[in-house]
Structure 1
Amino acid sequence: MSLEFQDKVVLITGAGSGIGRATAIKMASLGASLALCDINYDNLSLVSKAIGTVPKHLDDVDIASSQEVSKFIDAVMQKFGHIDHIFNCAGVNPTSYPLEETTDEYWDKLVNTNIKGVYNVTKACIPHLKSGASFVNVSSISGLRGSAQQAIYCATKYAVIGFSKCMALELGPKGIRTNIVAPGYIDTPTNAGIVKGGEAVDRMKNGTALGRLGSPEEVADVVAFLFGEASRYMNGSVVEIDGGIKMTSTTSG
């Protein structure tokens, strides 16, 4: 078994479920030590059991709070002394509303987690990073094309791409890379279509050339690649992980 990330510390937000959980398990299998946070500590505890004796630090963190993020990063540095790779995975999936039916609370919830959270974690980590470090940030296929009744969600995911490309330019001269994954219809517990079930799931499956949903593990494999040496000349790239998505109006994952 390859231990490409032995002696590396990988920080993952939203590590308690879905893509974050799958990536934590993947990186543990590759030898990494893990700094994991999620707003739901019970879920983190289950992930901790799944990855066994791998060196790790767990914390319940609301990434929308710069104070909570700073406290988390300080604790990670105290435990490990360094951070090598950051996976900004935590996010809120959309609920479909016509714009005139959305609320300020809904705007704040999505914007504060999906983009402010990425900003908070990135800003707090940068002073601790050395050449060879990298970020992978989660956008979405909805960060590349619009979806009716998902204007706020799409805005946050477009913003992740713009922010990440700026970081690629800003941090690249320091040898720190920033790349983006844009998942499509992924079978996660918080995917709006999965929650609806039935016909919504069928529409998602039929909306891809491969005729199925993606798994969190398939996204985790790409994240591991983007952290690794094989992707060393990738910086500011957006990698679509969508099974060959068709131009439909199906709710994205």
Structure 2
Amino acid sequence: MPPLAPTGPGRVLHQPATARYPEMPGKVAVVTGAARGMGARFAAGLATRGVHVVGGDLDAAAMTATADELAVALAAESVEDKPGRIVASALDVTRAEDHVALAQRAIDEFGRIDFWVNNAGIFPYAEVPDITPEQIRSTLSVNVEGVLFGAQAAAARMEPGSAIVNMASVSAVRVRKGRAAYCSSKAAVAHLTESLAVELGDQGIRVNAIAPGYIDTEMTRWIQDDAPALAKALDAVPLHRIGSPEEVCSVLLFLLSDSSRYVTGHSLAVDGGSRHV
């Protein structure tokens, strides 16, 4: 295989993962916040490997459009395994009952839930004096309660050998100015992941988290469009580039697969080493 060539803003390496997981075809995954961004990438990456996906999003119309677009793309793609189906559903992650309904949708459509990905989140900005009660409440509600409610709904319907993956962040361990609400919420997700892993281990359910750094998504577009800010950010990344969604998806697939069947309660950083700088 030829070496990867850095291209694009921040020298992003966009290339799909080549690893194959033969145990995945026929499995069923639920992905929250799947209408766009990393959630849509996760849904596509799973379906490409034969996993049936139920995608939930607050924007139900966008979720339906994404599911339709991915179905067309997968049908045209040359893949070794028959691609999985993608089903769209409405979801407000701040409502526990919506998670229950989403889980039931997966059971009704496919008869089981093997994987649950708590991806939905928000990325608010405000310096500490300007954080409003509404902002901190909404951030913790979406980013933390949404993870808890998803895990509760999933665990009630999962069999031993199933896996849950939460989206934490390198911001759980690194402070970013203007992101106090976000950073604190992701620190809570990292610790909640450990608690879930300990409590759900008795059911044979693994729970891990992914902690991305700077990834080439809409959430980081602001820094990619600001040359001085981008240069400063890349100075704090030992690999000196922005990561790609494909590289995050590769880690998701690993954490859901049997290759990580003795890994639980861990937050795996996908940050180019920036947490150490």
Same fold? TM cut 0.5: yes
Contact 2:39–2:120 at 8 Å: present in 1 too?
Answer: yes
Larger displacement relative to structure 2 (50-59 or 223-232): 50-59
2:70 to 31, 50, 53: 50
Is the 1:189–1:195 contact (alpha carbons within 8 Å) kept by the matching residues of 2? no
Kindly report the root-mean-square deviation, in angstroms, between the aligned alpha carbons of the 2 structures.
Answer: 1.9
Comparing 193-202 with 123-132, greater Cα deviation is found at 193-202
Q: Indicate the larger mover: 45-54 or 3-12.
A: 45-54
Shift of residue 17 of structure 1? 1.8
**SS of equivalent residue, structure 1 residue 128:** coil
Correspondence for 1:34 among 53, 62, 72: 53
Find the aligned partners of 1:131 and 1:74 in 2 and give their Cα distance: 18
Amino acid at match of 2:33: G
User: Is contact 1:4-1:30 (8 Å) kept?
Assistant: no
Which range is displaced more, 15-24 or 132-141?
15-24
Cα drift, residue 7 of structure 1: 1.5
Q: CA contact under 8 A between 1:188 and 1:194: conserved in structure 2?
A: no
The amino acid that maps onto 1:11 is V
Identity %, equivalent residues: 30
Unaligned runs of 5+ in 2: 1-19, 76-83
CA displacement, residues 77-119 of structure 1 (integer Å, 9 cap, x when unaligned): 1111110011111100131x22121111211221111001111
2:103 to 46, 57, 73: 73
Which blocks of at least 5 consecutive residues in structure 1 are unaligned?
249-253
CA distance in 1, matches of 2:202, 2:21: 29
Q: Does 1:166 align with 2:195?
A: yes
The answer as to whether partners of 1:3 and 1:29 remain within 8 angstroms in 2 is no
Distance in 2, matches of 1:81 and 1:246, equals: 40
Deviations 1:140-177 (A, max 9, x none): 00112222332211111011011110111111122110
- Normalising by structure 1, we get a TM-score of 0.90
**Is structure 2 residue 110 aligned with structure 1 residue 91?**
no
* TM-score of the aligned structures, taking structure 2 as reference length: 0.83
| Contact 1:8–1:83, Cα closer than 8 Å, also in 2 | yes
- State the alpha-carbon separation in 2 of the partners of residues 8 and 68 from structure 1: 22
1:247 is displaced (CA, Å) by: 6.1
Contact 1:164 1:236 in 2 (8 A): yes
CA 1:18–1:169: 2 relative to 1, 3 Å: same
